[in-house]
Chains A and B, each alone.
Chain A
Amino acid sequence: MHHRLPALALLLALLAGPAGAAFLPGDRLADPAAEARAQALGREIRCMVCQGQSIEDSEADLARDLRRLVRERIEAGDSDAAIRRFLHERYGDFVLLRPPLSAFTLLLWASPLLALALGLAVILARRRQPPPAPAPLSPEEQARLERIIRGP
C-alpha cells in the first residue's frame, strides 16, 4: 500500500491548483476596491527577475517589493497612469507587459501587418509571372522521343 502514498500526495498537490505568489498578510490592502485595482495594475507589470511573469504572479523578492510599492502608491492617492509612469521611468518599456506605442516599439506593433503585407506581395509577384515554358528538346532528345513513339 506504500506505493499509493506518493500518488495521493501528487493528487492533492494537483487539486490544490496553481499556487499564486505568496502574500504576506501585510501585503494586501484592507479596502477590497483598492486591492482589486492594485492586482489589475500588478498584472500589467513585468517581474524583471523572472521576466515571463507579472509581479502579481511572481515569488521573486523584487516582485514583492514592487507589489508593496504599487499598494503604497495607491494608498497615497496616485492614479494608475501615475504608478505606471513611475515604474516606466525606472525600468523602461520592458517593465510594462503591454509596451507603449513609441517610435522604438512601432516595429513591434506593426509586425503582424508587415508580415501580412510581405506574404501578399510574394503571392501577387508569383501570380503576375507565368511559369516559364519548358526548354525545347535537343536534337538527341527529339530523336529518342520519336524512337519511343514509333515503338520497337
Chain B
Amino acid sequence: MSARPDLLRRRLLAAAPLGVVAAAGAGFWFMLAGLQDGSFNPRSVPSALLNRPPPPFDLPPVEGAPHPGLSSADLRAPARPVLVNFWASWCVPCIIEHPQLMALHREGVPIYGISYKDRPADALRFLAERGDPYRRLGADLPGRVAIDWGVYGVPETYLIDRQGLIRWRFAGPITADVLNQDLRPLLRRYA
C-alpha cells in the first residue's frame, strides 16, 4: 500500500535523465533554428551604447560618391528613426543583407552608411552593381570611428530614434527574418 507512491517516485527519478535530454534537445533545436534564420547569434554582445547618443564623430564623404559624409550632428534629432550601417565591399555578409537594405530604402527608411576600411573605388563599384540604399555615406578608412561606436565587425547596424538615441544594434547581416521579426517592429515603435 505504502509501497505504491514510493515506486512511483523511483520511476519518476529514473525518467529524469530522459526529461533532461529532451529539454536539452529542444533547446538545441531552437538554437539551431535561430542560427539558421539569423535571429540567434551566440557571439553577439549587447552594445555598450544602447539608449545613449552616438559618440561624436565627423566623417568625410566617400571619394566620388554622390552622398555627403556623416557626422554625429546628422543624428542629433532626426525627423524619423534612421539606420546607421557599417559595411564594406570586402565583407561577404554585407552582400547577404544588401537586398534588405534596398527594400528599406525603397520604403523610405533613411539609411546612413559608414564605409569601413574600404577603398572608395571598391565601395562605389559595390553600390553601382547592387544598388545604393544610402542617403549619406561617411568614409572610415582607419576604422577609428567604428571603435568609438563599439563596432567589432562588419556589417553592424544601429537604429537611432527621433531623440537621437541608439535603440538597437545588430551585429551581423540583416536577413529577411531579422528585418521582419526585429527591425520592422522597432521601426514602427519608434516612428
Contacts and interface: CB of A to CB of B under 8 A. Distances in A.
A65 B3 CA distance: 70
Given A48-B152, A132-B6, A135-B6, A92 B48 contact: yes
B126 interface: no
Contacts of B144: 65, 69
Contacts of B142: 65
A90 B46 contact: no
B47 interface: yes
Interface secondary structure of B, over-half rule: loop
Interface in A23-62: 48-49, 51, 61-62
B1 A135 contact: yes
B149 interface: yes
B171 to A, nearest CB: 9
Contact of A48 (B1, B3, B45, B46): B45
A140 interface: no
Given A135-B2, A135-B3, A65 B152 contact: no
Interface in B30-71: 43, 45-49, 55
A146 interface: no
A99 to B, nearest CB: 12
A89 B149 CA distance: 9
A90 B147 contact: yes
B153 interface: yes
A89 B48 contact: yes
A91 B151 CA distance: 8
Contacts of B78: none
A49 B43 CA distance: 9
A2 to B, nearest CB: 39
Given A65-B147, A135-B3, 5 more contacts: A61-B117, A62-B147, A65-B144, A69-B147, A92-B45
Interface of A: 48-49, 51, 61-62, 65-66, 69, 88-92, 94, 132, 135
Interface of B: 1-3, 6, 43, 45-49, 55, 117, 142-144, 147-150, 152-153
